[in-house]
Amino acid sequence: MQYRTLGRTGVQVSTLALGAMNFGQIGRTTQDEATAIVDAALEGGINLIDTADAYSDGESEQMVGKAIAGRRDDIVLATKAYLPMGEERNHRGSSRRWLVSELDNSLRRLDVDHVDLYQIHRWDPTTSDEETLSALTDLQRAGKIRYFGSSTFPAYRIVQAQWAARENHLSRYVTEQPSYSILQRGIETHVLPVTQEYGLGVLAWSPLATGWLSGAIREGREITTSRSKFMPQRFDTTIPSNRARLDAVEQLATVADEAGLTLIQLALGFVTAHPAVTSAIIGPRTLDHLHSQLAAADTALSADVLDAIDAIVAPGVDLAAQEKFDTPPALLDPSLRRR
């Protein structure tokens, strides 16, 4: 396993991070299975674990807390808030009211007295940067969080938050967690240059492109991944963007074979090769999944292989642009772009 400095924090983290989204109801992973995955991940050199309050309505945090009991100090622990936690209208978002309450809920579920990295899961257009940053700064000063970061923010919102922190003399986001893979390279255009400019650590989620780069999805095979059951539109190959993904996967599989790599090694090696990326977040549902992904821990792709990838999916291109989570609201709601 390799280690890199998380932005400008001085904290050393593994280039593969363990994402816990599949722990609990979402991935149907039991506590015993989750603990075994955490055990194997730590043994393999991973020291960063990432979860969120909304993953299985808090069940993921509870499972992580039980799995890390007795070894908290050896782990860089990250969680998130913003997504709805129930029907009550104020049990979501990034207001001071919600973040102060929900962090305490997360700490209770995790059974810890602090988290190392607290992330705002999505940009909240209804809440000012000053409101959110002020609350996070106070939580940091109270010792409940060590650092805080953003997740899936558009580039211009990352810049705006950095400006707001400086303007109001508040602590700033030190990390960004975007979606990034060979098949979704759009963040190379704006987000990654901005994170490099401001010295942010980057924790890339979905480096296997929701399973498209796992090796299980190939031409002529029935798509039976767990995600295809509750997100069938993302795997319907009659949709042009999915057809383009499948065509790219077939070409990438050839590149991997010629390089003596698995498709997973190719995919994870690509993400961690970018100089802006600190870690790739893997989200195994089983021990077998974890071991296949840990095999990429020391994968270093040659320039020839990276060039071959560029020829299949050009830099800065998203093959499924409709799946982006950082689209400005005015592009989604006509009322916001009309007088």
C-alpha pair distances (Å), 152 with each of 5, 131, 175, 258: 21, 19, 11, 34
User: What CA–CA distance (Å, rounded) separates 224 from 229?
Assistant: 8
User: What CA–CA distance (Å, rounded) separates 238 from 226?
Assistant: 19
Return all residues near 289 (Cβ < 8 A) that are at least 6 apart: none
Residues linked to residue 12 through DSSP beta bridges, in sequence order:
5
Angle between helix 263-273 and helix 287-294 axes, rounded to 10 deg: 60
Which candidate in 55, 118, 173, 180 is catalytic? 55
Amino acid at 187: I
Element (H, E) at 130: helix 129-141
What is the residue whose two structure tokens read 């953003």?
150
**Is residue 92 within 8 Å of 134, Cβ to Cβ?**
no
Cα dihedral angle (278, 283, 288, 291), rounded to 10 degrees? 10
- Determine phi and psi for 269, rounding to 5 degrees: -65, -35
55 noted as active-site residue: yes
Annotated catalytic residues are 55
